[in-house]
Structure 1
Amino acid sequence: MDHLRAASVAWYVTGRFYVTPDGATQDLGYFLHLQGIQGELFTGEPSEQTAWFTFRSDPFKARPVTNGDLSIGLDTVGGFTLYLQRPPSASFDKPDSFSHGLRIASFRRVSLVMGTTLSTPGGTQDLMSLNVFTAALTWSQEFEFHGVKYDLARLLPHGITQWGDASATPLTPVPSGFEKVFAFVGSAIAVGK
């Protein structure tokens, strides 16, 4: 398949943000939809444990800015990697499991990422977080899935822009080495030339 048209849906993902006691964050998760890839993306009911395609970011730290009931986090440029798991074996209880399998592509955010958290008046309770970023494809390799060969350099040669929504309610249990975990979803579109 040729590359996706600019501004067309590239993927839908869901995952979790993992925050360490010193404030470093990483996100990881799995693909609900990956445009251009044919066949079922899960071996059973959709979950991280049945997902063929996963991702994991490099750790990053956000610089805080406050404006009324908005808390804004400015994240530095960073990268994330996509994996094809054979067989699917990821678990949110084991964050390292999202970076197992065949590494199929790496992306790097091209500028600062802005994330915003909306709080109740007085900042007593966080309600929801939003973020947006653009990432360029920096590396990929051909892979086979359901008998068809793919390369994200052909599907997404110019990268993606992704919008994300995250819950402000921490999840439990929290894996060892982390202080907080939050669920999120992301929707990405293909970047044009």
Structure 2
Amino acid sequence: MSVLLAAELAWYATGRFYQASKDDTLADYGHFLHLPFIQAPLFDGGVDETKAHFTFAAKPFKAPDLENGALKLGLDPVGEFSLYLQRRPAATYDDPASFAEGECIATFRRTGMVVGTTVDATAGRKTAPVVGTNVFSARLIASTPFDFGGRRHDLADHLGAGVTQFGTAASVPIEPAPAGYKLVLPFAGSAIALGRTA
């Protein structure tokens, strides 16, 4: 078992932000490109979401916006997201709920508000979003041991108290959005371990 030190790389993830058409709630779903138990295969074949053994899904939330010149800030409240082990990968971006299938192996809660920042570029009198970023810390609030790749794992043993994640989002929406959603944006995130609690 690999035990991470504080601020050591914990994971790489990629996914998409979804905004619901009905109530404007937001949620992110996706899969992992790297986790701390690197000796185990994270994919069944290719490396896209449909082959991923490890996925994540957030509880939907609402985020008010704040504008400051060319910066647009999204104020995400404290919320939760969970990690899933899909022994038979079945996730697809056409069905966001599919990322919450399989065995729930861990749940994290963000420690505070998340400020997501989108940068606008100006051409004449027109502005267009260029890139979005965010950073947040999340505490591990639940963890379930599981067997995978011939070994026993528990994310509490690997990550300690939780993670701090740095994210980058594209500004060009993915079209068409799945039924029930009006906006979909792709993102990637890298996280470092918080380390052990005293």
For normalisation by structure 2, the TM-score amounts to 0.94
Which residue matches 1:104? 105
Please say if 1:131 is aligned against 2:131. Answer: no
Residue 35 of structure 1 deviates from its aligned partner by 1.4
Residue 36 of structure 1 deviates from its aligned partner by 2.6
Distance 1:123 1:17, change over 3 A: farther
- Indicate if the aligned counterparts of 1:73 and 1:115 stay in contact, CA closer than 8 A: yes
Please say if 1:87 is aligned against 2:88. Answer: yes
Residue 157 of structure 1 deviates from its aligned partner by 2.0
- How many residues align? The count is 193
Which residue matches 1:20? 20
Alignment of 1:105-184 (within 5 A): 105-121=106-122, 124-184=127-187
Which residue matches 2:33? 32
Which residue matches 1:10? 10
- Indicate if the aligned counterparts of 1:69 and 1:123 stay in contact, CA closer than 8 A: no
Partner amino acid, structure 2, of 1:18: Y
For normalisation by structure 1, the TM-score amounts to 0.96
- Indicate if the aligned counterparts of 1:108 and 1:138 stay in contact, CA closer than 8 A: yes
Identity of aligned residues (%): 49
Looking at structure 2, the residues matched to 49 and 3 of structure 1 have their Cα atoms a distance apart, in angstroms, of 29
Which deviates more, 55-64 or 107-116? 55-64
Unaligned runs of 5+ in 1: none
Which deviates more, 20-29 or 74-83? 20-29
RMSD: 1.2
Aligned to 1:36, what secondary structure does the other structure show?
Answer: coil
Looking at structure 1, the residues matched to 126 and 100 of structure 2 have their Cα atoms a distance apart, in angstroms, of 36
Residue 123 of structure 1 deviates from its aligned partner by 6.1
Unaligned runs of 5+ in 2: none
Which residue matches 1:60? 61
Partner amino acid, structure 2, of 1:24: T
Partner amino acid, structure 1, of 2:187: F
